[in-house]
Amino acid sequence: MKKLKNEKELLKKAIAAGVVYGERRKVVEFEPTDSAEDKINYIYRLLVHDKIIQPLPQDKLSLPEIKHRLAIWASKLK
């Protein structure tokens, strides 16, 4: 896994975009008390379910890999 230059900022952008996407689809309502890790996991699973991003192989399914995949997705957003 090659780190992106601004991966932290892209991850923040991915979380914000993922929250908006999930709430517009009316499949989730995030609470202010939800942790970032919970949001990241839910957004990843939602995007995989909707076939927006490719799922990670089971042996590489970890939080750092999920964060990286979401950062790549955010880098491709407008």
Q: Which residues contact 35 (CB under 8 A, 6 or more apart)?
A: none
The model's pLDDT over 21-50, given as tens digits with 9 standing for 90+, comes to 999 999 999 999 999 999 999 999 999 999
Taking the complete model, does pTM exceed 0.85, yes or no? yes
**Domains, the chain, with CATH or none:** 7-75 (1.20.120.1930)
Report the SS3 class of residue 27.
coil
**Neighbour count for residue 6 (Cβ, 10 Å):** 13
* Between 27 and 3, the higher pLDDT residue: 27
